[in-house]
Structure 1
Amino acid sequence: MRNALAIVVTACLVLLLPALISAGDAGRETNFSLGACARPLGMGGAFTSLAHDASALYYNPAGLSFLEYQSISFSHTILFEKSIYDVAAWAYPIDENHGLGLGFMRIGTGDITRRVDYADRGKFDYSYSQLMLGYGRSVGERFAVGITLKIVNQSLDVHSDFGFGLDAGASWRIYNNLSLGVMARDILQPELQMDSTTEKSPASAIGGLSLADLHPSKHVAVSMGIDIEKFEDRSPKVHSGMELCLYSNYSFRVGYDRDNLAFGAGLKHGRLSIDYAYKMVDYVEDIHHFSLSFLLGKSMTERIRLRELALLPPEPTEEEKLFQALMEKANTFLYRYQLDSSAFYYRQALEYEPRNQNIIGSLAAIEEARRVQSAQEQALREARRELDQTKNIFLTQAEQLFSRKSYSAALDLLGLIFDIDASNSRAIELRRQIRQATADEIVRKLAEGRTAAEDGRLVEAFEAFRRVLEIDPNNREALESREQVTAAMGLSEKIRLGIELFDRGRYSRARAQFEAVLTVDPKEKTALDYLRRIREAQMQPTTSTLVDLQRDEAVWDHYLEGLRHMRNKEYQMAIDAWEQVLQAYPNNSNALDNIEQARLRLNSQETGE
């Protein structure tokens, strides 16, 4: 309701204002000041800020930049004394920012009687016409400018002349439906000479304001405008009018054109528009205007949409869609490194594009990746097999040492196994058995040592406590008891202990006993004799066991060091460690076998096999 009231108030101002400020005066106007086309004329010619069709060529060429359709318009007007006023115009939107127009206007009268000395001397014609070429361009989203170049002709009987004129206009869409237009007509004034008389078309300036396409209800649209026109040597004249459009097809118009009322109506069907205007004129016959307009081609909106669609890639065919689906699957599987599935879909895609170099390259890369993967898997299997062999060797040797009660050495080997496989059940069980056996033997040997010491069997007591310390080097009772027994032993007991150690092959410990005897008695013959025997025994090529190596702490450390290097695939370093073992025990089968295995693996590593 508020919108409708605002429209009514605005319409009253538009229609009454010209009557309040207009005044008659003298002066000249152009021959085409009547206007162009029936729709603007039905609104009193107030079209400077409303012209967005072919009529913009005359009213404001800036409006050519706002064209939505290509259009052609024809207008015919019958004036008094059988004068004819015709207008034809064509407008074409180049793009959303540029528009072009071409038009022709002619006013003429025929069958004028020629009189010479009051006598009839036949008939002649008069016409005034102009050919117009217009161009409009948007500057930003709301502002536009335009120009119209005119070729003007005046013909009277046998006299005729041409001149050139130029119009310029601007249009500004101030806010939504509100627009402002200005027009300078004939800024380059056509100059025509008829016989001895020369005249110029008067220049004029027009400014207009309009509200367009107001919608008080769903099927009703209202447009209205007001122009003020100023010709040189004349007072300003006002054009005002409004249009009511129903259901986008039926139009009713009313206007005030300078000093005269105008009415009009229009019918639109599809792309065809028929318009009529009636203008009341004082002292002469009223004027009837008829116009016929056509919209041609696609709308600017549709052309923009088609242009945007043309920039998009074409809709793929069914084969292209299938090819894309296969490629997406192949690429997805390749990203997941599922090479077999990826190769399967690549081969299917290759059937659609047999020369696709990307697919061919991808398949080649997959085959190479397969080869590398196979080699890596083979290397991994080989490494696992080697680790399994190493674990089995360590376990076998640990079990042998356990069976011979070399618990410390057995635990050393189990430690190497747990470095490889912390959850090895066989090693865990063996470790449990060793711990139980060591705990039982410590208890037993401590008891035996205490009993032997009490009975005076010092050598036996010493051996019992030594065995405890061999199992648990930090056992306090064994340490203290061994010191007490050692202090109580004489040379004979130490010699006897050395001889027992020599007989059991414990050469390092036997040497320590005999050397202790010699510190007391450097000439003791038994100690000297057994030290000589120890040297000879170590130089003989006898076969030694792991137990023998374990009894020699320095040699045992070298042996374990070799096993660690072997586990880490440091084969040359493992060989170096075991060769140090062979320097002390030249025929040790374990060290010899290990060196042979390390050399084989080192050779394979160097040759890449």
Structure 2
Amino acid sequence: MSLARILDTRALVNCRFRAAVAFACRRAAVAFACRRAVVALAASLLFAGASLAADRVAGANETMNMEPGARSAALGSATMAVDGDYLGLVSNPHQLSSVRYLWASFSHTAYYEDTRYDFASAVIPLSEGQGLGISFARFGADDIPYIREGEPLPEGNDYNTLSYDDWMFSATWGRRLFNRFDLGVGFHLLYRDMDQTGWGFRGDASLRYRVVDELYVAGLLKGWTSSATTWESGEFEYSAPEFYLAASYSLPVAYLYGKLNLYWQGAGLLHREARALGYETDDDVGGRIWESPLDWLSGGRGGIEFAFDFGLSVRAGLSSFTTFKSVTAGAGLTIAKFLRVDYAFESHPVLSPVHRVSISVSPYLFAHAPKPEPEAARRGSVGSSLLGAEPDEPDEGPDSAAPQAASEAAPEGTAQPAGQADGQQASQTTSQPAGPAPEASAPQSPVVEESSDEVLEPAPSGGVYWEE
């Protein structure tokens, strides 16, 4: 066989091999495209089926809306307006912008029929004007007796029991945007173990604005991702987003050695909702603000708090302005800079009263002194007027220690002998350089101080005497 024929045969084989490879590649590409189309079609059908099977309900993931903290509960559950209650991060994530120390908070609530709500949260300052919050909660009841259908009634305590639980995990973040704005974002996950298991999810966003030094207005977009729940049976439920407004105002009362705080939180703005707490009628549905402003205002809640300078706080509020039977009350005590205890009592027109207890501990303040006050707070920005900011100890330095020592050495009202005072003036005069006569040599009129029932005048010897 000649060399030319051999080369032609190899060229033909190479061409056929390349053609086969190209055909295989085209076939693989077509198959891959078909698979992608099938997957996309299946996903679209699945999404369409889920959309058709989704049920819009009111109050999906309602456990996320329950108030855990005793302080906010005593103030009518106006959690959005209360700053410094780190058990209310679900409804108030923007308060994390003012966190300066690490805090761990715990609460316990005993409801009716042995139903309990336990909540724990931790806040971590990330930087100045920024913080992170993590919360974990369980709401449920244990030892519920049940009998299967067809089984005989048990005798004594020999019966089966079950538990219903809602487990919630929440992550929140807050940051100060500008001098007057604070932003908060939160994501909440719920696992439900009832007659069937289920998962729930919701995302929230809030914004707070400082109108004046002690007046704040806040808004919360609850469920901007929609509040969705999926069940083991394949059922899918969701609730549409809702928007809320809140406000707080603080007024120092020097005569009573404390501060008066007012809190208000409005009803939902976007949807109609039930206002009545007595369950007497089913048609008592509240209108939106543009439909009935007075009815919308009646669906709000609020509270009043007086915080004494020595650490005691007394609180009262209404969880619904529709009835005075929803009154709430409570108290709080700052035992130390690192330890706070709160208690709340909540009444209800139908159900039994509820008692809440919460405690907050700061590991940082337990082991360290408070940090110096930020420079921005000294200039009167948001950080200095936050209602829940931790108190700082005044800075003690050599400049402040000297006057304090001098004041302690010479008590008020102690008179010096005239000769000693003249001698001190003479020594000071000799030590100073010669110059023009000071203005102090001019005759001075005696200073008279008046009190409620007496007149104080300086004595000739330098002391003080009084006349009735």
Contact persistence 1:264–1:278 (CA under 8 A): yes
In structure 2, what residue type is equivalent to 1:77?
Answer: T
Match of 2:228 in 1: 190
Go from structure 1 to structure 2 and tell me whether the alpha carbon gap of 1:300 and 1:98 turns closer, same or farther (over 3 Å shift): farther
Residue aligned with 2:350, SS: coil
Aligned counterpart in structure 1 of residue 210 of structure 2, from 154, 158, 173: 173
Per-residue CA distance 1:110-153 (angstroms, 9 max, x = gap): 12222332646721111112101111111111101110111111
In structure 2, what residue type is equivalent to 1:59?
Answer: S
Contact persistence 2:129–2:175 (CA under 8 A): yes
Contact persistence 1:73–1:292 (CA under 8 A): yes
1:289 aligns with 2:356: yes
Q: Distance in 2 between matches of 1:113 and 1:232?
A: 38
Match of 2:106 in 1: 74
Match of 2:70 in 1: 38
Q: Distance in 2 between matches of 1:275 and 1:125?
A: 29
How do residues 105-254 of structure 1 correspond to structure 2 at under 5 angstroms?
A: 105-117=137-149, 119=151, 122-157=160-195, 159-188=196-225, 189-195=227-233, 197-201=235-239, 203-212=241-250, 214-217=252-255, 219-230=257-268, 232-234=271-273, 235=286, 236=296, 237-254=299-316
Q: Percent identity?
A: 22
Contact persistence 2:331–2:342 (CA under 8 A): yes
1:99 aligns with 2:126: no
The root-mean-square deviation of aligned C-alpha atoms, in Å, is 2.5
Q: Distance in 1 between matches of 2:239 and 2:108?
A: 23
Residue aligned with 2:94, SS: helix
How do residues 362-401 of structure 1 correspond to structure 2 at under 5 angstroms?
A: none
Contact persistence 1:60–1:182 (CA under 8 A): no
1:257 aligns with 2:319: yes
The structural deviation recorded for 1:213 is 5.3
In structure 2, what residue type is equivalent to 1:225?
Answer: Y
The structural deviation recorded for 1:196 is 5.2
Q: Distance in 2 between matches of 1:144 and 1:246?
A: 27
Per-residue CA distance 1:468-491 (angstroms, 9 max, x = gap): xxxxxxxxxxxxxxxxxxxxxxxx
The structural deviation recorded for 1:181 is 0.9
The structural deviation recorded for 1:73 is 0.8
Contact persistence 1:166–1:185 (CA under 8 A): yes
Q: Distance in 2 between matches of 1:200 and 1:286?
A: 31
Residue aligned with 1:302, SS: coil
- The number of equivalent residue pairs is 279
Go from structure 1 to structure 2 and tell me whether the alpha carbon gap of 1:109 and 1:194 turns closer, same or farther (over 3 Å shift): farther
Contact persistence 2:313–2:332 (CA under 8 A): yes
Contact persistence 1:72–1:294 (CA under 8 A): yes
Residue aligned with 1:181, SS: strand
The structural deviation recorded for 1:92 is 1.5
Go from structure 1 to structure 2 and tell me whether the alpha carbon gap of 1:295 and 1:77 turns closer, same or farther (over 3 Å shift): same
Go from structure 1 to structure 2 and tell me whether the alpha carbon gap of 1:222 and 1:216 turns closer, same or farther (over 3 Å shift): same
The structural deviation recorded for 1:40 is 0.5
The structural deviation recorded for 1:101 is 0.4
Per-residue CA distance 1:528-578 (angstroms, 9 max, x = gap): xxxxxxxxxxxxxxxxxxxxxxxxxxxxxxxxxxxxxxxxxxxxxxxxxxx
| TM-score in terms of structure 1 length | 0.43
Match of 1:384 in 2: none
Go from structure 1 to structure 2 and tell me whether the alpha carbon gap of 1:140 and 1:246 turns closer, same or farther (over 3 Å shift): same
Contact persistence 1:167–1:187 (CA under 8 A): yes
Q: Distance in 2 between matches of 1:35 and 1:151?
A: 16
Residue aligned with 1:90, SS: strand
Q: Distance in 2 between matches of 1:300 and 1:149?
A: 31
Q: Distance in 2 between matches of 1:116 and 1:84?
A: 25
Q: Distance in 1 between matches of 2:127 and 2:85?
A: 14
The structural deviation recorded for 1:197 is 4.1
Contact persistence 1:49–1:171 (CA under 8 A): no
Per-residue CA distance 1:486-541 (angstroms, 9 max, x = gap): xxxxxxxxxxxxxxxxxxxxxxxxxxxxxxxxxxxxxxxxxxxxxxxxxxxxxxxx
Contact persistence 2:188–2:201 (CA under 8 A): yes
Contact persistence 1:68–1:300 (CA under 8 A): no
The structural deviation recorded for 1:254 is 0.2
Contact persistence 1:204–1:229 (CA under 8 A): no
Q: Distance in 1 between matches of 2:169 and 2:370?
A: 26
The structural deviation recorded for 1:183 is 1.0
Residue aligned with 1:62, SS: helix
1:266 aligns with 2:332: yes
Higher relative contact order (CA 8 A, sep 6+): 2
In structure 1, what residue type is equivalent to 2:189?
Answer: I
Q: Distance in 2 between matches of 1:267 and 1:138?
A: 28
Contact persistence 2:223–2:241 (CA under 8 A): yes
* Higher Cα Rg, which structure: 1
Match of 1:302 in 2: 372
Per-residue CA distance 1:367-396 (angstroms, 9 max, x = gap): xxxxxxxxxxxxxxxxxxxxxxxxxxxxxx
The structural deviation recorded for 1:74 is 0.4
1:276 aligns with 2:343: yes
Contact persistence 1:154–1:192 (CA under 8 A): no
The structure with the greater share of residues assigned to strand is 2
In structure 2, what residue type is equivalent to 1:272?
Answer: L
Per-residue CA distance 1:142-183 (angstroms, 9 max, x = gap): 1011101111111115x3222321111111111111001111
Residue aligned with 2:201, SS: strand
Go from structure 1 to structure 2 and tell me whether the alpha carbon gap of 1:93 and 1:284 turns closer, same or farther (over 3 Å shift): same
The structural deviation recorded for 1:250 is 0.9
Contact persistence 1:180–1:210 (CA under 8 A): yes
Contact persistence 2:87–2:120 (CA under 8 A): no
The structure with the greater share of residues assigned to helix is 1
Match of 1:55 in 2: 87
Q: Distance in 2 between matches of 1:238 and 1:267?
A: 27
The structural deviation recorded for 1:295 is 2.3
The structural deviation recorded for 1:284 is 1.7
Contact persistence 1:60–1:168 (CA under 8 A): no
Go from structure 1 to structure 2 and tell me whether the alpha carbon gap of 1:193 and 1:181 turns closer, same or farther (over 3 Å shift): same
Q: Distance in 1 between matches of 2:77 and 2:233?
A: 34
Go from structure 1 to structure 2 and tell me whether the alpha carbon gap of 1:38 and 1:217 turns closer, same or farther (over 3 Å shift): same
